Chain A
Amino acid sequence: MKQITRLGLGLLLSSSLATAHADDVKIGMITTLSGGGSHLGVDVRDGFMLALEQSGRDDVEVLIQDDANRPDLARSLANEFMQRDEVDILTGIIWSNLAMAVVPAVVRQGTFYLSPNAGPSDLAGRMCHENYFNVAYQNDNLHGAMGAYMREQGYERPIIMAPNYPAGTDALAGFKHLYEGEVVDELYTQMGQTDYAAEIAQIRASDADSLFFFLPGGMGISFMKQWEGSGVDMPIFGAAFSFDEILIKAVGSAAIGARNTSLWAYDLENDANERFVEGFREAYDRTPTLYAAQGYDTANLILSALEVAHPDDKDAFREALRAADFDSVRGDFRFGPNQHPIQDIYVREVVEGDDGQPTNRLLGIAIEDIQDVYFEECQM
């Protein structure tokens, strides 16, 4: 039943074209709603829509399309939104490779793009643009923060692991940059790999004292389940991408004890966050993930800028976005010169919740006011 009502909502959202007025604001959302890993897109969408609903504004319409995690389809959808629907703002993309396919062309053509999840280094550095705002994180942020945290906690011989693709090599580079020490070994897995027996045996055979890994989505689930049965006793660390509320419930007990860095936690105490988490649970009957928080913040940033100017007045609207004058659910939030966040990164630990299911608990701050290292390459 729930699925059917969700479908109904989707229908409603995408067909709300008819009632547009001239000064209404149109937002196009391209996100991943089908196939593996689609819970990220669903949460970004749901968080975003919740913020709009709470604002009570009826002059903002959102058009939503599924990119099925395919760069060429995302690109075509972006054209559709810009050329046919003439949206003022685009948002929604989950994956870095899709962002790289869509964002440069979109912002060059004068449409605003606000990233609710991906933050590839090129878009923060040499390809930065005045119409591109990242409301989530630069890809290195969470990995670097974990490097800093592990050094501070006194781990001396970490072994690190990631898939062999740009986001993976960037993750390990970001970790090493702030860890600043020697790592025992670097393991590269394959994209979409499902069996980690070989890597686990290597990890056990090494003399590492800790493991840091970046295995987003299903890869992380597979790895942790297999890790649990292996009898290796070593603390594990990662970024929130392997430990969102939905993934750790699929992993089960194997995730307990893992520590992960995140830019947000649902038990973070501030007014905006309480309103968000309560509202989200009420509306969707589940605990939000960081993706939902990012979607929510993205919508609220847009709403705050709309108070100042309409996107047709590009310079004024851009200035309003830069000011980031909204209550972020993650606490302090501001933009650096490349329009990427400067923010605190938190550490969470996976614990057993009251209902026996694993859940994240906030431990503290891993690093304050982290900023990406690419802003110097950015000439705006």
Chain B
Amino acid sequence: MTNNIPTSAVSSKPTSNSARASMPKHSHSGGSGAAPANQADSHFGRKGLVQIALLGLLLLLPVAAYFFGHLYYVNLASRITIIAMAAVGLNLAIGYGGMVSFGHAAYFGLGGYVAGISAYHAFDFTPFMTWPISIPGSDSLLVVWLAAALLCALLALAIGAISLRTTGVYFIMITLAFAQMIYYFANSWPTYGGEDGLPIYIRNSLPLVDTTNALTYFLICFGGLVMAMAVTSRLMKSRFGAALTMARLNDVRLATAGVSPYPVRLVAFVISAAITGLAGALYADLNGFVSPSVLSWHFSGELMVIVILGGVGRLYGPLAGAILFVMMETFLGGITQYWQLFLGLVLLGVVLFAKHGIMGWLAGRERNE
């Protein structure tokens, strides 16, 4: 076992030896046993290579496409990047925290609506609210991002505080329940368009840069994704991360060590929601549009599928999952009208034959799998 610890700085799951040694068989990360010791170093090298390749290609291809005049591919890359960022947020809850949220569309959608509503009021010069304090709309991305992250954190605090009293399938379903409430509310609330959605006429702006430029906006999104991954990585290397991992693997042990698992999980859940919410705000500005469809359980399910597809609890898993999923969604559709059938077959193939998702398949096993 001890030979199997990677020494890398980008390792995504820094846990103490004792945590791993005591890992119960039925833990969320599944499977048991470890790769033969002599493979540890070589497959780490492969993993590092795959990670650099993924991130590098995601950055370089759109830049190249931009200079060859293929704007469409730049926007497609922005879309992949944003979905990946949302999945990074969800992965923090599912993969690292063991909290299988089936309601992350709520935060993605709320983030989107913050961008939409703020732009709506800025465009109309009407205040968002006048009582008890007057809040005007804003078309500044910084304001929108701050508001989106804060509001999503608050919402997740409320939802998480109640939901985290439950575990397992009950947790899955109660998070879904809250998301569904918000979905139905948005669908039937006429002020901001209801089911028709809310257009954003002019993309929210930043000082000094032109956000309407496709490449600039892609780079902003890319920055967001890298930030989200860095935050996750830093967090999981901290004492907090160790506590969260322990809470996932064996919360009784954590409790006997004098740390209550509940607040640890709640904080992780809130951070996870804030990341996903930020991605939602970026997505609304990319599309120039937000509608209740991003609040639906289909979207929660899709985010979950992307996380699992890429590899649960792996830092680069959401990125790999998002690239494959969005590409298939985009290109299969042009080939046949039954494209969802083939999407289903590919997903089934991945889950049956590539354990631990694409990253597991490309980069080898993670050490506590």
Contact = CB atoms under 8 A, between A and B. Distances in A.
- In the complex they form, do A and B come into direct contact, defined as C-beta atoms under 8 angstroms apart? yes
A68 B73 CA distance: 21
B337 to A, nearest CB: 4
Contacts of B334: 14, 65
Interface of B: 70-73, 75-76, 79, 184, 187-188, 190, 193-197, 199, 201, 283, 287-289, 291, 293-294, 329-330, 333-340
Contacts of A125: none
Given A72-B287, A83-B72, A84-B72, A104 B335 contact: no
A72 B196 contact: no
Contacts of A120: 196
A101 B195 contact: no
Instruction: Specify the main secondary structure of chain B where it touches its partner.
Output: helix
B330 A76 contact: yes
A11 B75 contact: no
B294 to A, nearest CB: 7
Most chain B CB within 10 A, of A14, A76, A104, A169, is at A76
Contact of A76 (B71, B76, B337): B76
Given A80-B330, A165-B195, A101 B291 contact: yes
Given A73-B329, A101-B197, 8 more contacts: A7-B337, A65-B333, A72-B294, A84-B72, A96-B196, A104-B201, A105-B289, A166-B195
Mostly helix, strand, loop or mixed at chain A's interface? helix
B73 A100 contact: no
Given A72-B293, A165-B195, A191-B195, A83 B71 contact: yes
Q: How large is the interface on A (under 10, 10 to 19, 20 to 34, 35 or more residues)?
A: 35 or more
B293 A79 contact: no
A7 B333 contact: no
Given A72-B294, A166-B196, A169-B190, A66 B339 contact: yes
Contacts of B330: 76, 80
A309 to B, nearest CB: 26
A76 B199 contact: no
Given A100-B196, A100-B199, A104-B199, A76 B338 contact: no
Contacts of B72: 79-80, 82-84
A167 interface: yes
A333 B75 CA distance: 39
A7 B201 contact: no
B166 to A, nearest CB: 26
B194 A166 contact: yes
